[in-house]
Structure 1
Amino acid sequence: MFPGIEKNCRKFESELHLISAERKTILNSAAKAIDAQIDKNGVAKLIYICTHNSRRSHFGQVWAAVAAEFYGMSSEIEAFSGGTEVTALHPNSIKALETMCFQITSDSVGANPRYNIKFGSELSITCFSKVYEDSENPKQDFLALITCSHADENCPVIRGASERFATPYEDPKLFDNIELQDKIYLERAMEIGREVCYMMSRSASKKDYT
């Protein structure tokens, strides 16, 4: 794992006080569900879902892959993302990831290119915007983690999900093209990373989830 990304993971471990008790309860329940999936299938499949699959859900997918590696669970976790409609991975999201030491390349063009997001010399994940039911995502027995209120309210049923967890975050899109843009995108990416690492640490330690 790249040193800068590992440093962020260790920073998250020192910031658990920034996660509210209410949110920890949800993340503990998700950790328990992850362990149940691993016990049942040998692997837990997580799909992070928001409306456009361009910002928050990608942050969730990327950090889930990173946290799985950081906590020694990479063979037991598969991370995906999707939306209720297709757009593209937003340039501001890419910039925030690069600021956090991810290395990002793309060998495709068009309105919705695929990006290879590296977090180690031989560690990477592919990201592009897609609906959560895309052929590259699991179709059943997965855990759905909803990162925006709009998707949570408009998708009362996520077909194929064994369980769903609502962990909405403020949309950084609200700050596009203003002075605070880069700051807010980075804050949101770090907030999501902190909570994903907390969840994965609880699963890895197999504590009592309380």
Structure 2
Amino acid sequence: MYNKLIETIVKEIDFQNISDERKLILQPLIDFIQQKIENKKDVNINFICTHNSRRSHLAQIWAQVASSYFKIPNTYCYSGGTEATAVFPKVAETLSDQGFKLCAIGQSGNPVYAIKFSDNDMPIIAFSKTYDNPFNPISEFAAVMTCSQADEACPFIVGAEKRIPIRYEDPKVSDGTPEQSQVYKKRSLQIASEMFYVFSKIKR
């Protein structure tokens, strides 16, 4: 992994002090991953939010990094929304600040990013799309609902083997304020800490 990203993980991600309340919320995802590993099956996780622009991408990216960090094999993380918009620019900026290398490989209203966390690992592909976009798995995946709106708007996710609500406050509330950078950083680190906690619990 890139040195700056390792520095973020070591100095700023705190997965040792997750609250008991959040641990209960995260346990179903741990159970899903553990079962797949024990059965020697791929771990497919689709993080779903309303616009697939902020929280779901942060969760997808940090979960993929956490699986690599803890050497959990055959883990594939995706994201989607109830509608497609675009990755919010502040999300890309926040990830870059935290040590990822981003390359925009499509310059449209909905840019496609190749996000690398090391030189030799496959990049994470990030762009806004609906949760049932052909890019995402169609069966045998966990649908992780990262926002209340998507959780309530989609009572049934076609193809999902398990539906797991893990909600985060939308950093969008800070848009246009002096606190925006700090709020996005804080939300990214919260999500990172919880994804690292999840994968730290998996026994290979």
Fold shared, TM-score > 0.5 on shorter chain: yes
Structure 2 CA distance, aligned partners of 1:21 and 1:151?
Answer: 25
For 1:121, the equivalent position in structure 2 comes to: 119
Out of 91-100 and 39-48, give the one that drifted further.
Answer: 39-48
Amino acid across the alignment from 2:64: A
Q: What do the CA deviations read for 1:149-181 (whole angstroms, capped 9, x no partner)?
A: 111111111111111111111101111111000
Give how far 1:25 is off: 1.3
Q: What code does the residue aligned with 1:7 have? A: E
Provide TM-score, normalisation by structure 1: 0.92
1:9 lines up with 2:9 in the alignment = yes
Q: What residue is the counterpart of 1:87 in the other structure?
A: 85
User: Matches of 1:184 and 1:159 in 2, distance apart?
Assistant: 33
The Cα of 1:15 is off from its aligned counterpart by: 4.5
Q: 1:10-159 alignment to 2 at 5 Å?
A: 10-11=10-11, 14-17=14-17, 19-40=18-39, 42-73=41-72, 75-123=73-121, 124-159=123-158
Give structure 1 regions of 4+ aligned residues with deviation exceeding 6 angstroms: none
* Matching residue of 2:174: 175
For the Cα contact (< 8 Å) 2:15–2:194, is it kept in 1? no
Conserved? CA contact 2:53–2:85, under 8 Å: yes
- Opposite residue 125 of structure 1, the aligned amino acid is I
Name the CA distance, whole Å, in 2 between partners of 1:107 and 1:152.
31
Residue 14 of structure 1: how far off its partner (Å): 4.4
**1:45-91 CA distances to partner (integer Å, 9 max, x unpaired)?**
00010000000000011011100110011x32000000000000010
Change (3 A) 1:195 1:107: same
Counterpart amino acid of residue 94 in structure 2: A
RMSD, matched Cα: 1.5
Conserved 8 A contact 1:6-1:70: no
Percent same amino acid among aligned pairs? Answer: 37
Which residues of structure 2 form unaligned runs of 5+? none
Rounded to whole Å, the distance in 1 between the matches of 2:16 and 2:151 is 25
Aligned residues: 203
Instruction: Report deviation, 1:7.
Output: 2.8
Q: TM-score, with normalisation over the residues of structure 2?
A: 0.94
Equivalent position amino acid for 2:81 in 1: G
Q: Distance in 2 between matches of 1:173 and 1:110?
A: 22
